[in-house]
């Protein structure tokens, strides 16, 4: 008797045909559709193939059948473990949610010696301490930090310019570390600073406590200085000097930079990227225009600007892809986050691209006065007069009031993408988020009408753009695979 079945055994039509597993589809272009399953695996197929597959008449001998089967879009008599596998993959993606809030932002002060026009929160007057967080407020906020069950806690100092209240930063770091001797969490600290006032004492402290520096770099000097006015008009020079000083004191990888995109950035993406390359960063986050602060104030945020931003983004992305194809390793971080969702079983914890929304459960902000906000954007909105996402105050509300109250759970539940109109049938939903703060700010509605949403429009264009690029060039796919697996 033969050890193996005859070849014909594998070629015979499967007696019971196949069953569809749940999937969604969305047009990729005029001829093709993207289909995704619940775990976010995707397939690109033509309309006739989509119809044949959906009507369960796709021949089992076709290459597409094999692809759909291996990616868990169908189940046949030969593949009965697909449901368990899909559940396992989905669970892997959902697992970070169970950890609850990991990122805790402390607004050490609203004072700042810069006067950036897009910034709603800072107070130019930098010698008044009424906008500083007190130690009493910080202690109450730390009580909440350690109530979070997350085994990895990141405390990020924000402002204004947090280094103008360095004594409070020092106090929080030392107190958090003291408490952590019993708590034994994986505790990390970040200071978000423009670096203008950093000095040796601060650098020594950062080195001792392995504190990460996150700074702002908007591009070449003229653009950066225009975005970030300060006495002396030397914001860029100070940022660059600060980056070098931090790297030599703390190590190259301890310094990250973020850009703010303004109207002045839009025609200059290559110069902005070149600035990051010349300063030896290994990537850039081409950030969207923010609807908060500057954009609202200057009426800059319109659909027209969104279209220009997409041109800016894709020109930058293609430029970065070309750098990689020519052998120079450089990452676009927003694409990398999405590609991690598309090409790996993992879910990056980026607050804007999570559903249920990342507000509150992904990140939380403690304002200088003890008010607790569901995200950094929420407190910006509050500075503009809208306190919808203020969850309470550390002095008057308990952990349960803040994290289980309607102010947080209401928008979380309402905006869940799995049940929102359009998102609930969108193929890109596994890669997308909910962002109730954005939709509240722009449409006065936590869910938002997605056909009118700049958030939806932008993300859908990027999802399509990434899939099209990796389909059309296997070398680009290889670059994307590397970005996705950075972790």
Partner 1 sequence: MLAEFPKAAFTAEAIKRAAYVFMDRADISLQATESQWQCMITARAGQSFTVEQLAEAFRREVLDQDLRLTIEAKTEATRTAILGLAFSRTGLQGE
Q: Which residues here bind partner 1, judged by CB under 8 A?
A: 19-25, 27, 38, 50-51, 54, 83-84, 86-88, 90-91, 94-95, 97-98, 421-422, 425, 449, 451-452
Min separation Cβ 337 and ligand SF4, Å: 14
The smaller minimum CB distance to partner 1, of residues 51 and 311, is found at 51
DSSP string of 238-288, one letter each residue: HHHHHHHHHHHHH-GGGEEEE----GGGTT-HHHHHHHHHHTT-SEE--PP
The smaller minimum CB distance to partner 1, of residues 51 and 271, is found at 51
- The token pair at 168 is 């409070």
The CA distance from 75 to 61, in Å, is 15
Sole binder of ligand SF4 in the list 110, 321, 423, 467 (CB under 6 A): 423
The CA distance from 441 to 261, in Å, is 18
Return the exposure string of 75-91: e unless at least 16 CB atoms fall within 10 Å of the residue's CB, then b.
bbeebeebeeebeebbe
Sole binder of ligand SF4 in the list 245, 365, 417, 462 (CB under 6 A): 417
Contact assessment for residue 450 and residue 420, using Cβ atoms and an 8 Å cutoff: yes
Say which entry of ligand SF4, partner 1, none residue 186 contacts (CB below 5 to 8 A, set by partner kind).
Answer: none
Beta strands in 108-254, from DSSP E residues, in sequence order: 152-158, 186-193, 212-216
Strand 371-373, strand 363-366: pairing: antiparallel
Min separation Cβ 359 and partner 1, Å: 17
Say which entry of ligand SF4, partner 1, none residue 52 contacts (CB below 5 to 8 A, set by partner kind).
Answer: none
The smaller minimum CB distance to partner 1, of residues 50 and 133, is found at 50
Sole binder of ligand SF4 in the list 354, 432, 437, 479 (CB under 6 A): 432
Angle at which helix 454-472 crosses helix 474-484, to 10 degrees, equals 120
Binding to ligand SF4 by residue 198, rule CB under 6 A?
Answer: no
Binding to ligand SF4 by residue 415, rule CB under 6 A?
Answer: no
Say which entry of partner 1, ligand SF4, none residue 410 contacts (CB below 5 to 8 A, set by partner kind).
Answer: none
The smaller minimum CB distance to ligand SF4, of residues 39 and 257, is found at 39
User: Per CB under 6 A, which region of 79-87, 229-237, 379-387, 454-462 contacts ligand SF4?
Assistant: 454-462
Binding to ligand SF4 by residue 342, rule CB under 6 A?
Answer: no
The CA distance from 365 to 440, in Å, is 18
How many of the chain's residues bind ligand SF4 (CB under 6 A)? 11
Say which entry of ligand SF4, partner 1, none residue 428 contacts (CB below 5 to 8 A, set by partner kind).
Answer: ligand SF4
The CA distance from 15 to 358, in Å, is 46
How far lies 422's CA from each of 93, 338, 416, in Å? 22, 20, 12
Say which entry of partner 1, ligand SF4, none residue 90 contacts (CB below 5 to 8 A, set by partner kind).
Answer: partner 1
Strand order in the sheet with 23-27: 23-27, 32-37, 42-46
């Amino acid at each position: 008797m033969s050890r193996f079945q005859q070849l014909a055994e594998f070629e015979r039509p499967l007696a019971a045909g196949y069953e569809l597993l749940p999937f969604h589809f969305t047009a990729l272009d005029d001829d093709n559709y993207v289909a995704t399953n619940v775990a976010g695996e995707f397939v690109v197929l033509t309309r006739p193939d989509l119809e044949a597959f959906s009507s369960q008449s796709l021949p089992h001998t076709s290459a597409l059948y094999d692809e759909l089967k291996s990616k868990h879009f169908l189940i046949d008599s030969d593949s009965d473990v697909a449901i368990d596998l899909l559940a396992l993959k989905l669970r892997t993606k959902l697992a970070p949610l169970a950890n609850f809030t990991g990122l805790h932002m402390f607004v050490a002060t609203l004072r700042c010696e810069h006067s950036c026009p897009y910034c709603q929160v800072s107070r130019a007057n930098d010698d008044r301490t009424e906008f500083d967080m007190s130690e009493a407020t910080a202690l109450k906020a730390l009580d909440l930090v350690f109530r979070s069950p997350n085994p990895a806690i990141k405390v990020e100092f924000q402002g204004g310019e947090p280094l103008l209240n360095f004594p409070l930063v020092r106090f929080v770091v030392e107190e958090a570390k003291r408490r952590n001797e019993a708590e034994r969490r994986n505790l990390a600290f970040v200071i978000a600073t423009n670096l203008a006032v950093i000095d040796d004492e601060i650098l020594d402290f950062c080195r001792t406590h392995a504190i990460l520096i996150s700074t702002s770099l908007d591009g070449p000097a003229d653009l950066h200085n225009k975005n970030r006015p300060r006495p002396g008009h030397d914001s860029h020079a100070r940022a660059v000097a600060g980056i070098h000083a931090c790297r030599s004191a703390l190590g190259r990888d301890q310094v990250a930079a973020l850009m703010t995109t303004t109207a002045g950035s839009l025609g200059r993406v290559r110069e902005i990227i070149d600035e990051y390359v010349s300063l030896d960063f290994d990537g850039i986050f081409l950030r969207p225009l923010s609807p908060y602060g500057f954009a609202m104030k200057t009426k800059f945020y319109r659909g027209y600007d969104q279209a220009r931003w997409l041109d800016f983004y894709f020109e930058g992305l293609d430029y970065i892809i070309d750098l990689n194809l020519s052998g120079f390793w450089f990452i676009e971080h927003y694409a990398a986050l999405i590609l991690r969702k598309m090409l790996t079983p993992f879910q990056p914890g980026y607050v804007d691209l999570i559903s249920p929304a990342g507000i509150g459960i992904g990140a939380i902000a403690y304002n200088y006065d003890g008010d607790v906000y569901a995200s950094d954007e929420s407190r910006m909105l509050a500075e503009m007069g809208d306190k919808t996402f203020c969850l309470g105050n550390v002095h008057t509300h308990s952990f349960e009031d803040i994290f289980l109250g309607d102010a947080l759970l209401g928008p979380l539940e309402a905006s869940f993408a799995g049940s929102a109109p359009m998102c609930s049938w969108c193929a890109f939903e596994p890669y997308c988020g909910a962002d109730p703060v954005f939709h509240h700010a722009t449409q006065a509605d936590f869910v938002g009408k997605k056909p009118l949403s700049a958030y939806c429009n932008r993300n859908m264009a990027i999802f399509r753009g990434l899939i099209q690029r990796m389909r059309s060039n296997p070398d680009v796919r290889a670059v994307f695979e590397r970005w996705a697996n950075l972790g």
